[in-house]
Amino acid sequence: MDPNHLFSSHFLDGAIASRIEGQHRPLPSVIVIGAGISGIAAARSLYDASFKVTVLESRDRLGGRIHTDYSFGFPVDMGASWLHGVCNENPLAPLIRGLGLTLYRTSGDNSVLYDHDLESYMLFNIDGNPVSQQMVIEVGDTFKKILEETGKVRDEHPEDISVSQAISVVLDRHPELRQQGLAHEEHVLSGGHGLMVQGYDPVIKSLAKDIDIRLNHRVKKISSGYNKVMVTVEDGRNFVADAAIITVPIGILKANLIEFEPRLPDWKVSAISDLGVGNENKIALRFDKVFWPNVELLGIVAPTSYACGYFLNLHKATGHPVLVYMVAGRFAYDIEKLSDESAANFVMLQLKKMFPNASEPVQHLVSRWGTDPHSLGCYSYDLVGKPDDVYDKLRAPLGNLFFGGEAVSLDNQGSVHGAYSAGVMAAENCERYLLEKQGHVEKLSVRDEMLETLIPLQISRM
Ligand SMILES: Cc1cc2nc3c(=O)[nH]c(=O)nc-3n(C[C@H](O)[C@H](O)[C@H](O)COP(=O)(O)OP(=O)(O)OC[C@H]3O[C@@H](n4cnc5c(N)ncnc54)[C@H](O)[C@@H]3O)c2cc1C
């Protein structure tokens, strides 16, 4: 099956196009801002419904926080790499199945934090000596118990409390659980977590097929009124359409890098400032041969939670001799201040604590999501004490302006599938709005039915 046909308007009954064209009205036009998964999903949805769509993207590439790098000669994801929720309910499952992409399941657990099973985790202590597998399992079990107990504390408190406060309550109640680590638990789709073995890029390429996407078009201003939207890009050119869908990262909105005319209402501005933006970075090292054990993850105990990173062994999932060091939080911001060379040297120091005879990498890649001017951060997250309706307000349209992107996802912020669904939802709302304006009230899409397919997801574990 040609996977692109999954999204082709040929599958539609031709209803939208013929009904709109039959009225001799021009096709409704929409500008989508941002060509990450959310913007591309929105554009795909509108394109398949025969709308005129133009996507304006500030980078010189597609995908946004999905970035499959090929400079090692094979795909390495420097942004998102896991499908969280390897199950048929995942909105990306039909596309991944249709493209014949393989997933390597690193965990069967359904929580956000537990995306690695411990039986394939090799941990080293601060002196570089291996920690017994028994100890790793015990720490893991304790971690799970703390997460369970933290969930109970959350349910007992109607008001927001910080994750660290909740954990303090748990540790006061259960001193036997006193160990290092953790944060809050949030349940995601079932099916555990699967690495995209061929990278996320094929998903982006397939969704983007035939769509008018203008790269290197940084949007500076959005003016709306008189049933039209005018979008101004960096070089001063204007694009006009009946509506626009904004899918830029929350970090960009928080930094006020786009001017709105008229100004955004106060409730929208508050919703933008009421969400947090976290950071994570990856340093990928390619070696000429594998010198490390055949486990999925390698970790070394850090003196404090600040300098806590771990290595994902891509060799186990993909067969390529690559280790990807992952760091988060303040540490991730500090890594960004280093040159690529220094970051790779720092990571090698960590590796050599575990494997003193480690060979030098032949190539390296370093991400900088926190200071990247196209993202200014990695994931949105809940700030303590945020109002309950922050997501509703963030998502709410303003006339002919619609909002997509991972941060406005209904249930799965910070994920690829959440961003995808948010884009599709923004497109559907936009479609409805424009069709109602033209006097068409029926919802005409049959795409979802067409996406139901019996091909199973391909999951491996070596
Ligand atoms: C290091 C890292 C690891 C991650 N790991 C995972 C994972 O394993 N699994 C998972 O599900 N999720 C993961 N995520 C999260 C996931 O990548 C994001 O939630 C998702 O890709 C966001 O998609 P989006 O379309 O909302 O935003 P983006 O992908 O950021 O797209 C927004 C687009 O807007 C563009 N833009 C910005 N400003 C302008 C402007 N002024 N004009 C025009 N265009 C503009 C940007 O260049 C970008 O292309 C990870 C993220 C990072 C950074």
Write out the DSSP string of 374-424: TTSSSEEEEPTT--TTHHHHHH--BTTEEE-SGGG-SS-TTSHHHHHHHHH
Q: Which atom of ligand 1 is closest in space to residue 219's alpha carbon?
A: 42
**Quick check: pTM over 0.90?**
no
Burial environment of residue 425 by CB neighbours within 10 A (0 to 12, 13 to 18, 19 or more): buried
Q: What is the CATH number of the domain that holds 206?
A: 3.50.50.60
Residues 6+ apart with CB under 8 A from 288: 321, 359, 362
- Whether residue 396 lies inside any domain: the answer is yes
What's the gap in Å between 310 CA and the centre of ligand 1?
Answer: 22
Please report which confidence band the pLDDT of residue 111 belongs to, taking 50, 70 and 90 as the band edges: low
Kindly state the helix (H) or strand (E) to which residue 148 belongs, with its residue range. helix 133-156
pLDDT of residue 456: 60
CA angle, corner 191, sides to 327 and 409, nearest 5? 65
Identify whether 6 is part of a domain: no
**pLDDT tens by residue, 66-97:** 999 999 999 999 999 999 988 889 999 999 99
What rounded mean pLDDT belongs to the chain? Answer: 85
Pocket test for ligand 1, best of 104, 189, 245, 248 (most atoms within 8 A of CB): 248
User: Ligand 1: which atom is nearest the Cα of residue 413?
Assistant: 19
Number of folded domains in the chain? 1
User: Residue 36 C-alpha to ligand 1 middle, in angstroms?
Assistant: 6
Which residue did the predictor score with more confidence, 336 or 460?
336
**Ligand 1: residues whose CB is within 6 Å?**
33-39, 56-59, 64-66, 79-82, 84, 218-219, 247-249, 252, 257-258, 280, 282, 367, 369, 374-375, 378-379, 405-406, 414-416, 419
Decide: helix, strand or coil at residue 6: helix
Q: Is 390 domain-assigned?
A: yes
Looking at ligand 1, which residue's alpha carbon is closest to its atom 2? 79
| 138 alpha carbon – ligand 1 mean position (Å) | 35
What phi, psi does 21 have (nearest 5°)?
A: -65, -35
What is the whole-number distance in angstroms between the Cα of residue 88 and the centre of ligand 1? 23
- The pLDDT tens digits of the residues spanning 300-325 come to 877 777 777 889 999 999 999 999 99
Residue at 42 is within a domain: yes
pLDDT at 148: 84
Inside any domain, residue 415: yes
Range of the domain at 427: 29-66+199-275+384-438
**Which of 200, 277, 416, 420 to mutate to test ligand 1, by most ligand atoms within 8 A of the CB atom?**
416
Domain annotation covers residue 304: no
* Beta strands in 52-192, from DSSP E residues, in sequence order: 52-56, 68-69, 76-77, 82-84, 102-107, 121-124
CA 17 to chain centre: 32
Q: Which amino acid is at 452?
A: E
pLDDT digits (tens, 9 = 90+) for 405-449: 999 988 888 999 999 999 999 999 999 999 988 876 554 444 444
DSSP, collapsed to helix, strand or coil, labels residue 167 as helix
Q: What SS3 class is residue 132? A: coil
Amino acid at 367: S
Q: Which of 45, 55, 65 to mutate to test the pocket of ligand 1 (most atoms within 8 A of CB)?
A: 65
CA 95 – CA 323 distance, rounded (Å): 28
DSSP β-ladder status, 76-77 and 68-69: antiparallel
In a domain, 359, yes or no: no
Tell me how far the alpha carbon of residue 440 lies from the centroid of ligand 1, in angstroms: 34
Residue 240 to residues 54, 174, 321, 428, Cα–Cα distance (Å): 10, 60, 48, 20
> Six-digit token pair at 393?
């307000």
Residue nearest to atom 5 of ligand 1 (CA): 80
For ligand 1, atom 12, name the residue with the nearest CA.
415
More confident residue, 442 or 27: 27
- From the list 447, 411, 412, the residue with the least C-alpha distance to 428 is 447
Q: Please tell me whether residue 228 adopts helix, strand or coil conformation.
A: strand
Q: Which residues contact 26 (CB under 8 A, 6 or more apart)?
A: none
Query: Which ipTM did the prediction report?
Result: 0.99
C-alpha distances in angstroms, 243 versus 62, 206, 398, 429, 430? 22, 24, 10, 11, 7
Q: Name the residue with higher pLDDT: 125 or 338.
A: 338
pLDDT at 108: 65
Answer whether residue 225 is part of any domain: yes
Q: Is the model's pLDDT at 457 over the cut of 80?
A: no
Q: Alpha-carbon distance 355 to 456, whole Å?
A: 40
**Cα 203 to middle of ligand 1, angstroms:** 14
Which ligand 1 atom is nearest residue 56's CA? 43
